[in-house]
Structure 1
Amino acid sequence: MADELELLRRADPVPADGPHFGDGPLDHRAERHLDRLLRDRPAAPHRRIRLAWGLAASAVVAALVSGLLFTGQTTAPAVAAPRPLVVRTDSTPVSLKEMAQRARAAAADGAPALRKGTHVQSWSLGMSDDKPPITLPEERIVRWHADDSHTELVVATDPRHPGRPVLREADGEPRLVEDGHVLSRQTYPPSWSDAPPESPPPHDPAGLRAYLQQARYSDDPMDTAGLLDAVTELLDHWTLGARESAALAQLLAGTEGLRPVGQVTDRLGRRGQAYVYDASVTRRMLILDPATGTVLGLETTFTTDQPEYGVKAGDVMEYSAWMR
């Protein structure tokens, strides 16, 4: 386990002791480490483990979680929900229109290029109506190969607490595992689907909107919340190139209710411009790279107390941080 986690961290373009303000592509050494990590073991025979819990988490699961939290465990910091990102009070908000202009300028030479696959760290809050909520952190890397097969690696890891135990779910039962525990490793056979989000996204705003609408498998008009959901689905399949990021920034610039609030530092230490959308009980914060308009992350927090689930206004419901 430790060797695999070390390989994963060496493949990360933002190392733990680095300045954290860059998000560049993997170099040749990191790519070799990543290839070794993905190829050393055969595909796992069991099904893919899903970490996200819904609001209807069972009482049995909640009781097990309660036992983990209150039976003398002293090394379980990863079960606590991450604190919401804080906007710098001395920062100046950048409009989405301005961000779209920056993105178009950054895409002038077409680099970097679109790449199928993703590298994302995420946190999901699991809730029950009578037990404390818990957070399940994971890191997922999907790499596609020349024959259109792809490999997916999911690791239990929390960058807030490197080296400490991480909570994972197995067959509906939460338990603590060591940092870097491999949750699943799957190699999938070739797939040639031409339907979104498997097909390449276009790099013009109108075409991208139609693509995202189709990826939702719904004929209902796509509102701001639906658009953000579709963006999440897109980024869980593709690492956008400069032109696709520019098209997305232009699409976001014409979205109602998404307002600029200023600068934040995301959970991977990267500086970004934040844009907030307020719904009935949640607030969604989209973080964009200030120079290129690339989506860095998306955070959802509660805006009102939900006592039946043990959460308060300001608690983080879920968060994703995407990397190249």
Structure 2
Amino acid sequence: MADELDLLRRANPVPADDPLTGDGPLAPHAERALNRLLHAPHPGHHRYTRLAWGLAACAVVLVTALAVLLGGTGTTPAVAAPRPLTVRPHSTVVPLDRLAALAAAAAEADGSPELRKGTHVQSWSLGMSDDRPPVTLPEERIVRWHSDDSRTEIVVATDPRHPGRPVLTDEDGSPHQVADGHVLSRRTYPPSWSDAPPQAPPPHGLGQLRAYLAETIHTDSLTMPRLLDAVDELLDHWTLGARESAALVRLLADTPGLRPVGQVTDRLGRPGQAYVHDTAGTRRMLVLDPATGAVRGTETTFSADQPEYGVVAGDVMEYSAWMR
């Protein structure tokens, strides 16, 4: 397990010891390590069940009950809830229109990254119960598609904030601690192809992208909350190229609801521009690359206390950080 995690981290273009490293294509050695990870024989498979939860109006709907909070009597928490991202005081606020122009210019530059099917994402989600304190469940997921339209997906329990420490997981519906790098799921899927979103390649024309994202989440009204839902869904299937990122930022700028708040450092140590959308009970933050407009992460936090679930305003409900 530890060997696989080491390979996954070596394939990460944002190493923990280099917090200022930006996005970019994988180096040849990292690509070879990633291919070894995805294709090497593995003696066992573990079923992975995603934490499902929903939010309706101001109330959080309970969808998972934790039978065990932390493994072992007298142990310290395996995973502390991440703090919300902090906007740097007095930092430069970049309007989305301005960032869209920067992204369009970056898309015209030589060597701009190309669209790639598949994703590499680090995520945290909050597990809640009405009789236990909330806990944070971290994982890393990578999906790579192959030339025959088959794909390989690996999910690992790991938290880059605390390398080597035990990690809390809800694997098999029984929350417990596992070793850092524990493989939650490793699967290879047979060839599959579709011309419907989000399997179809996203367009980089503004009108076409709007229609594509609306179809992705089955809506006729792509308001800002629904657009942010569609962004999450898109990035769980595709790693955007420069032109697609530029089109997405322009679409975000043309849709009312996001306001710039300043500069942040994301959970992988990368600089970003933050934009927030407030709804009843929650705040959603979108973190964009300050030079190219590429989406670096999204964060949802509670904006009101939910004492019945042991959460207070500012607690992180979920966070995703995407990598190339």
State if a TM-score over 0.5 links the two structures: yes
Displacement of 1:289: 0.3
Stretches of structure 2 lacking an aligned partner (at least 5 in a row): 55-60
Q: 2:66 is matched with which residue: 49, 52, 62?
A: 62
1:211, 1:53 → 2: CA distance?
25
2:280, 2:113 → 1: CA distance?
37
AA aligned opposite 1:64: V
2:28, 2:104 → 1: CA distance?
28
Matching residue of 1:72? 74
- Pairing of 1:116-195 with structure 2 (within 5 A): 116-195=117-196
Matching residue of 1:83? 83
**Cα distance, 1:165–1:42 mapped onto 2, change above 3 Å:** closer
Stretches of structure 1 lacking an aligned partner (at least 5 in a row): none
CA RMSD of aligned residues (A): 1.6
**Cα distance, 1:263–1:213 mapped onto 2, change above 3 Å:** same
Displacement of 1:222: 1.8
Matching residue of 1:252? 252
**Cα distance, 1:45–1:157 mapped onto 2, change above 3 Å:** closer
- Pairing of 1:305-316 with structure 2 (within 5 A): 305-316=305-316
1:135, 1:283 → 2: CA distance?
18
2:157, 2:217 → 1: CA distance?
28
Contact 2:139–2:157 (8 Å) recurs in 1 = yes
Matching residue of 1:24? 24
AA aligned opposite 2:93: P
1:117, 1:50 → 2: CA distance?
18
1:135, 1:313 → 2: CA distance?
16
AA aligned opposite 1:131: R
**Cα distance, 1:217–1:118 mapped onto 2, change above 3 Å:** same
- Pairing of 1:207-286 with structure 2 (within 5 A): 207-219=208-220, 221-286=221-286
* Residue aligned with 1:252, SS: helix
* Residue aligned with 2:162, SS: coil
- Overall identity of the aligned pairs, in %: 69
Contact 2:47–2:184 (8 Å) recurs in 1 = no
**Cα distance, 1:43–1:209 mapped onto 2, change above 3 Å:** farther
**Cα distance, 1:264–1:10 mapped onto 2, change above 3 Å:** same
Render the CA deviation track for 1:245-274: whole Å, top value 9, x for unaligned.
Answer: 000000000121200000000000000000
Contact 2:115–2:240 (8 Å) recurs in 1 = yes
Displacement of 1:217: 2.1
AA aligned opposite 1:26: L
Contact 1:124–1:318 (8 Å) recurs in 2 = yes
Displacement of 1:14: 1.3
Contact 2:117–2:237 (8 Å) recurs in 1 = yes
* Residue aligned with 1:299, SS: strand
Matching residue of 1:106? 106
Displacement of 1:212: 0.4
Displacement of 1:70: 8.0
Contact 1:52–1:124 (8 Å) recurs in 2 = no
**Cα distance, 1:25–1:43 mapped onto 2, change above 3 Å:** farther
